[in-house]
Amino acid sequence: MSETKANKRVVLIGAKDGMTPAEFHAHWSGPHAEIAKDLPGLSHYVQNHVMRTLLVQGGAEDKYLGIPEVMFADPERLHDTIDTWPRRDELKEDEARFLGARIGNWVAHADDAPPIAHRRIIVLFTGVGEAEVQAAVEAIGAVAPCHGERVVDSEPGGVDWIIFVELSPEGQGAEAAQALLAADGPVLSHVTGIGGTGLAYLTYSQVNRLPFDVM
């Protein structure tokens, strides 16, 4: 593992067999969120609901419907804390009701990340270098707030880098907003040139808890 300290968990999740996307999103944002928000020491919980797949590159598997971001006040004590949590079994039973694919990634959260928008483009990369990712972030940043986060450790099938692009509606007309989603537009054109294995999703982001909620 890299010496870079991981302080956020980003999970790639899919629906249980037989569950429709609509059923998945309703359960995740409703009953499951109410349980998860009660996790001890939780300081940051964002649900990124996949609305559309924008890019599949290099043989990547497009099987995810959600990308939660979770941070805890003391990430090093995460497992000990959850193991003694009274609602631990309730959480696991609920996960079994709607989750299929699930791959966890520990990342180094960027302290200077821009504010989270309701609509985002989230790009997942494997097999690419830091220089290429940072060049893409800089280029995309000229048209939309964005940042990249390095994956420090992951479960099998995880990714190496995640880019978050914030699509703010303020000052953007419908045509301008749509242009940001185009395959040859100012976001994805910089992503496809990196190489490696990649996925890009348009998401609706539901912010359940941020650090100021627990101060």
Look at residue 102 and tell me if it is in a domain. yes
What's the confidence (pLDDT) of residue 215?
34
The pTM for the full model equals: 0.91
Domain boundaries, position 26: 8-214
Do residues 47 and 205 lie in contact, with contact meaning Cβ atoms separated by under 8 Å? yes
What's the confidence (pLDDT) of residue 195?
83
What's the confidence (pLDDT) of residue 3?
55
Average pLDDT score over the chain: 89
What's the CATH code of the domain at 28?
3.30.70.100
CA distance 91 to 15: 16
Q: What is the 3-state secondary structure (H, E, C) of the chain?
A: CCCCCCCEEEEEEEECCCCCHHHHHHHHHHHHHHHHCCCCCEEEEEEEEEEEEEEEECCCCCCCCEEEEEEECCHHHHHHHHHCCCCHHHHHHHHHHHEEEEEEEEECCCCCCCCCCCEEEEEEEECCCHHHHHHHHHHHCCCCCEEEEEEEEECCCCCCEEEEEEECCCCCCHHHHHHCCCCCCCCHHHHHCCCCEEEEEEEEEEEEECHHHHC
Residues contacting 143, CB < 8 A, separation 6+: 180, 186, 187
Digits of tens for pLDDT over the chain (215 positions)? 345 678 899 999 999 999 999 999 999 999 999 999 999 889 999 999 999 999 999 999 999 999 999 998 887 777 778 888 999 999 999 999 999 999 999 998 888 899 999 999 999 999 999 999 999 999 999 999 999 999 999 999 999 999 999 997 555 556 677 888 988 999 999 999 888 899 999 999 998 865 544 33
CA distance 141 to 136: 8
Look at residue 2 and tell me if it is in a domain. no
Q: What is the phi/psi pair of residue 211, to 5°?
A: -50, -35
Look at residue 1 and tell me if it is in a domain. no
- Closest to 46 in 3D by CA, of 69, 21, 23, 80: 69
What's the confidence (pLDDT) of residue 15?
98
- Closest to 65 in 3D by CA, of 115, 125, 15, 11: 15
What's the confidence (pLDDT) of residue 173?
56
pLDDT tens digits, one per residue of 23-50: 999 999 999 999 999 998 899 999 999 9
Neighbours of 86 (CB within 10 A): 8
Look at residue 3 and tell me if it is in a domain. no
Number of domains into which the chain is organized: 1
Two tokens, residue 54: 């924008």
Look at residue 39 and tell me if it is in a domain. yes
User: End-to-end alpha-carbon separation of the chain, Å?
Assistant: 31
CA distance 139 to 142: 6
